[in-house]
Structure 1
């Protein structure tokens, strides 16, 4: 595994754990839309210093010009993810299973989309992984013994 990939994945994992724990602890009476706006404003401020680590290679207008419609898709997905987890936790979702359940379903969908639209290979080990996802979903959603 490349060091840069491992570092990037480590950052994503730390971020995801922090995200789930803090999302679960948002005050139950906080208005969901105001919470989302606050999340994004603080995230924007926290993003600005990252220009020191990842400086622009050209002008700001040139960098903005390289952005495309994917920005809208990512922005929409962020809103859906944030709102979905906020509401799921408020509806009683547990910290130990809500993310795992959603990640298992997303994994199955990503395998399908990767195969159909990006010509990614389906292997026996990937199918076994999907089987494990389904087993995990079953274990997470069955009534407690």
Structure 2
């Protein structure tokens, strides 16, 4: 596994750090959906510029898009709305994301086993246990 394997992980980590700090810093009295609209317009503009400066062919590439783009769009709104609302309700930046991601990770592990024929190894089972214990400890008051 070379550097190309770890670069996307680094991008996700750095983007996540920036994302959560920006979400936590969004003014509580600002209209949530206007904030998300501006967010998506900026994201769409960046994606459009990158796409159209590349070597893609819109007439050809548009046919490769399927239902998953629609579902991703819907789920992104849910994720971002959820985080904005979590932070506005008082979740700490250090606990909110962790709680959401640990729960999602455990559920994805189950989905991987049930639908993608992934194997539940003893190490994965121990990882689930550690996640649950960690989640309880991080939220213990």
Instruction: Say yes or no: TM over 0.5.
Output: yes
Q: How much does 1:46 deviate?
A: 1.9
CA distance in 1, matches of 2:121, 2:54: 36
CA distance in 2, matches of 1:53, 1:111: 38
CA distance in 2, matches of 1:108, 1:53: 39
**Match status 1:74 vs 2:75:** no
**Match status 1:103 vs 2:101:** yes
Paired residue for 2:86? 88
CA distance in 1, matches of 2:9, 2:80: 20
Paired residue for 2:39? 39
C-alpha RMSD of the superposition: 1.4
Paired residue for 1:122? 120
Unaligned runs of 5+ in 2: none
Between structures 1 and 2, the one with greater helix share: 2
Unaligned runs of 5+ in 1: none
Distance 1:62 1:33, change over 3 A: same
Distance 1:114 1:130, change over 3 A: same
Q: How much does 1:54 deviate?
A: 5.2
Paired residue for 2:132? 134
Q: How much does 1:52 deviate?
A: 7.1
Tell me which stretches of 4 or more aligned residues in structure 1 moved more than 3 Å. Answer: 52-55
TM-score, structure 1 normalization: 0.92
TM-score, structure 2 normalization: 0.94
Paired residue for 1:112? 110
Q: How many residues align?
A: 141
Q: How much does 1:140 deviate?
A: 2.1
Paired residue for 1:20? 20
Distance 1:14 1:53, change over 3 A: farther
CA distance in 1, matches of 2:95, 2:50: 32
Distance 1:54 1:97, change over 3 A: farther
